[in-house]
Amino acid sequence: MKDKKFLFEEDKVWHALAVMALPAIASQLIALVYNIADTWFVGRTNDPYMVAACSLVLPVYMITIVISNIFGTGGGTLIARLIGCGQEEEASRVSASCIRMSLCWAGVFSLLCLITMKPLLIFLGASENVLGYAVQYMIFVVIIGGIPMILTSTLSSMLRSIGLSSKASFGLGMGGILNIALDPLFMFVILPDGKQVMGAALATMLSNMAVLLYFIFVYKKASRETVLRAYFNGEKPSKKSMSAIFGVGIPAATGIFLFDLCNIVINRLAASYGDKQLAAIGIVLKVERLPLNIGVGICMGMVPLLAYSYSAKNIKRMDSIFLFGRAVGVLIGLICVALYYVFAPVVMQSFIADADTVLYGTQFLRARCFATPLMFLCFSMVHFTQAIGRGKESFWLAVIRQIVFNIPLLFLLSSLLGMTGVVWTQAIADLFTAIVSYIIYARIRKQEGWR
């Protein structure tokens, strides 16, 4: 672990962040590719109802990320802080506890989805044309595939917390490649015509299961050489540690949940205008995740470095990491704004040939792309507060972004401007949120006594 200690304490900021962030970015991009792959391959059918079905299930699928964030982010940031202040035994107990809890919660979530599946999909906006396809997708991706998804996400966060970002990223990347390979096999070769959505769902489920097997192997090996554990060896984590896990994990999960809730609102509003509008916004919501996932990868790379530096009281290094990462993220966001605006029609045509869906999607993408750099400013601030154990501030940033600004503006602008208002909401809401986040950031620095 000496090389990891050098990385956290002495390595040049740009290099340390590159070592941690580049594998995370790569895994996020590959994860995005296999998230988009289903929509892309389903789009080859030129059936907007099938595309709409995949879009409808996405918010439910995202709940798996919500659950894994409680234990992955909550436990992972705590492990990094515990290592930074020399409490390695407690870090081991925390890691084992997080794995156990994520497994239990994953099982409960899958059971609830099975019980409420059809009413839930109808609530989300599934029409008669879409419902059957949405059921196929949800059974394999969420109900069966949700458990391996939650566990792999939690395990990857544990590995990243101790500096094994490349191993975590390789596993997620492997899943992406498998899914891309299996999608056409199940959709167009093994299953009959009309079952393309089921084929895409099976490909995703099997890919997640394969990734889980990889992570179990890597985690077991890491447990012999690092603080990570998969079982309790004596005492359980202290009450203080358990409080810290949930104190950061629940706000982190709340942020994802509210983001997911916002997408549900967008889908329901879009569905009220028509299935083709729903299909178009579904494609746009996935395509815009390219810069978003890059930004999340940068943040994932920053968090262990920030958490370690904070616990080691090396505030100067912590500031340098945060400022550098934020600058890189904003630059990437600005580049994506230009590219999306110019190439929006090409992007949409690559997913589906239906002329109306392409037209709607081009308009939607050109509006929503302006939120990209502002989104990163919001996300980076949330990850900063999580890294230093400020769960309360992380929670309020999520609430302010979605409950105070985004969702109310969605309903207001939809009633005033229709779908045009819906797609412009994100940029307006994130501008307000970014301003508030800097006010909170300044307050934290004042409370901590940082200059």
Taking the complete model, does pTM exceed 0.95, yes or no?
no
Positive or negative, the CA dihedral 406, 119, 202, 360 is negative
Residue 416 has pLDDT above 90, yes or no: yes
d(CA 287, CA 49): 18
Residue 379 has pLDDT above 80, yes or no: yes
Q: What is the domain partition of the chain in residue ranges?
A: 2-446
CB 131 within 8 A of CB 113: no
The DSSP code sequence of 238-300 is PHHHHHHHHHHHHHHHHHHHHHHHHHHHHHHHHHHH-HHHHHHHHHHHHHTHHHHHHHHHHHH
Find, among 218, 64, 29, the residue nearest to 151 by Cα: 64
Predicted pLDDT of residue 431 = 96
d(CA 410, CA 427): 11
Residue 39 has pLDDT above 80, yes or no: no
pLDDT in tens, 144-197: 998 998 999 899 888 888 878 788 878 877 888 888 889 899 988 998 888 888
Predicted pLDDT of residue 27 = 66
Report residue 402's pLDDT band, with 50, 70 and 90 as the boundaries: very high
345 residue type, one letter: P
**Token pair of 59, please?**
């918010």
